[in-house]
Amino acid sequence: MTDNLLLRPWTGPLGGVPPLDQVEVSMFEPALVTAMAHKRAEIEQLRSNPEPPTFANTLEALERAGATLDRVAALYGVWASSFATPELRAVRQRVEPQLSELHDAIFQDPQLYHRVEEVAGEPGLSAEQTRLIKRYLETFRRAGAQLDPAGRERIAQINQRLSILYTTFSDNLLADEESHVTFLSEDQLGGLSASWIAGAAAAAEALGATGSWAVTNTRSSVEPFLASSTERTLRERVWRAYFTRGDHGDEHDNKPLIVEVLALRLERARLLGFESHAQLQLQSTMAATPERATELMQRVWGAASAKFRAEVAAMQALADARGDEITIEPWDVRYYAALIRRSEHDLDPAELQQHYQLEQLREGMFWTATQRFGWTFELEDLPVPHPDVRAWRVRNADGSDRGLFYLDPFARRGKRSGAWMMPYRVQDRLDTPTLPIVSNNCNFLKPPPGQPTLLTPDQVRTLFHEFGHAIHGLASDVTYPTLSGTRVPRDYVEFPSQLNEHWMDTPELLSRFALHQQTGAPPSPELLERSRAATNADSGFRTMEYLASAVVDMALHQCTDPVEPAAFETQTLAAWGLPPEVVMRHRTPQFAHIFSGDSYSAGYYSYLWADVLTADAAEAFAETGFYDRAISARLMETVLSRGNTIDPAEGFRAFLGRDTEVEALLRDRGLI
C-alpha cells in the first residue's frame, strides 16, 4: 500500500504535512483506487459488527473510516483546482464517478442507516454527538437510503452522471479561459495603470508574445482593464470574451450540459420527495426554504435597482458632458464608475493601488489576527507544489500550535479562476488532537521579477475574504471531523469570510501596512476620507450584478420544466426588471459555483444571506472597536470555533444577543 507516495501517512511537524513537492499526476488514479478500496473495507467491518449499534462503534467508526482517502483526496483537490493539466483532467473524468459511487454505496446502505437511527436514541449523548447523528441522518436521506432498491440505484446513476458533467463543465470553462487572450499593442494601453501594464507584459511573455500585453480571460485581468482602458472598442471586445465563456457553440459549450444537469437534479429531488432541487438543497440551511431566500433577494433588489439606475444616470450625464457621444452599455459601467470616483470624490484607483502591496497587506492580514486572537504567523520551509506557494506556522498566544496556513496568490495556466479556501486537513479531537491545515488561493496577476504586486481595492477585499475562511478553518475546536471548521451551511459559511473583509479598511491596519510602494508612507487621512466617501459609489451596480446571478440560480432550481439556459436567463431577469446596463456576474455557461458541483447550486443567494449577518455584526464591532479583544473572543467562542456543532442561528444569536436585521445590510451598502 505504501509504494505510492500519496498513500503514506504524512510526516513532519504538526502531525505531518502534505508532500506537495513530490506529487506526480500519474500517482493520483492508483492512489485513489487503492484508498477507496481501503475505505470500503473499513465500512464493511463497521456494518458487519455483530454488536448492537452504539455511538462509539457506529458514529465514531464512521468518522475514522477513510483517513487514507482523505489524505489522497486533499492532494487531488489541490491539483484539480490549481494544476489541471490535460493529463489530470483525464484522470478526473475516470475517478470522479468512482468517488461518487463510493459515497452512494456508503450512504445508501439501509443497514448502516438503521444503525445510525438506532444510536439516535442512545441515552447520555452530548449536544455535539446529537448534532453529528443529525448530520449523518441528513446525508443518508439525501443519498436515498430510505428508498427502495430501484430508487437507490437510480439516484446512484444520477450522481455518477452528474460527477462527469460537473468535471466537464469545469474543464470546458478552463479551456475557454486559456484559449482566449486579447493581446494589446503599445498604442492600446491608454488609461491602464503601470502595475497592470507590467503584469500584462509578464503574462504575454509567459504566453510567448514578448513585446505585447495580454488581457487574459480571467476576472483579475479583465475587471481592472474594463475600469481603466480608454479604448471603448477594446473594452467591448474584452467584455464579450469574458461574459461568453462556455457559450460559443463549440466543443467547450456548456449549455447542453446545463440542460442535462438541471433535469437530473430535478429527477433526483423528486425521487427524494421534494418538489424541486432548490427545496432539497435549502432544507438544512439558515434560509430553510427557497421562498425565504427569494424574499430576501426581493427586498434588496428594489433598493439596489433604484440606486443602480441613479448611478447609470450619473454615468450618462458625465459621458454627455465629456462629449463622448455614447449610450452607457455594460462594458462602460466600470469605466464611468471610475471616472465618477475621480470627478466626485477626487479618487483615482491607481492612487490607492500604490499603497496596496500584496506582500505588505499579507503581513497586515496576519497582524489583524494577532491583534484579535493572539495568533502569530511564522514562515516555514515546508514542501510546496509551486515556487509561488508559501506556508506559515500558526501559533496561539501561549506559543502552542494552532495549524498551518498556505497561500497560493498568483494566476497561471491550469489554475481555475476566482479565489477559494481549501482545507488540506480539518481539525478534530476524535483520538489524538489533529491540527488544521488550510490554504488560500487567488488569481492575482504576477508582476515581473523585482516589482511589487499591487492590488486593486477589490482584490484586497478578496484577500481578506479568503483569509476569513482560513480563520474559520484554523479556529475550529470540535471533536468530530464532519462538524469541523467551515463544514457549515452555505448561507452561514460566508459570514466569517465577509465579516473579515471589514478589517481591510481599519485605520490601524492601513497606517501600518498600506505603505506606498515608492515612499513607504501610509495613505494620508485625506486620501482615506476620500476613499471612504466613495465606498458605495457603485454599490447599486455591484449588488445588481450579484443579485442577477442569485435570482437566476434560484429560479433555475425551482423550475419543473426543461429550460434553454440563455432564454431562461433573459426571461427571468426581464420579469425581475434587470436594467440593461448590467448583466449577471456569472452567466449560466460560466457559473461554476452552481454547475461544477452541487454545493452552491440553489445556494448563490448565500452571500447575501450571510452579508445580512455580516453587516449587523460589523456594526457591533464598530461600536466597540474592531480590535476589541472582548468582542473578538465572543466571536471566537460563539461562531469561529464551533464549526457545525450548533445551529448557525443559535450561534449568531449568542454572538449578537439577538436575531439579525436586514436594515444593517441596506445601510452598509448605502441603499437606504
Distance of CA 206 to the CA centre of its chain: 27
Which residues 6+ apart lie within 8 Å of 634 measured at CB? 655
Give the integer Cα–Cα distance in Å for 447 and 449: 6
Give the integer Cα–Cα distance in Å for 343 and 327: 19
- From the list 96, 177, 311, 466, the catalytic residue is 466
441 in helix, strand or coil?
Answer: strand
DSSP string, 556-618: HTT--S---HHHHHHHHHHHHT--TT---SS-GGG-HHHHS-STTTT-TTHHHHHHHHHHHHH
Distance of CA 404 to the CA centre of its chain: 19
Strand order in the sheet with 437-444: 376-380, 390-395, 401-410, 437-444, 420-425
Nearest alpha-carbon partner for 1 in 39, 40, 35: 35
Question: Which residue's entry shows cell 478552463?
Answer: 174
Catalytic, 325? Answer no
DSSP string, 475-528: H---S-GGG-TT-S-HHHHHHHHHHHGGGGG-HHHHHHH---TTT-PPPPHHHH
Question: Which residue's entry shows cell 502552542?
Answer: 400
Residues in the chain: 672
C-beta of residue 319 within 8 angstroms of C-beta of residue 328: yes
Catalytic residues: 466
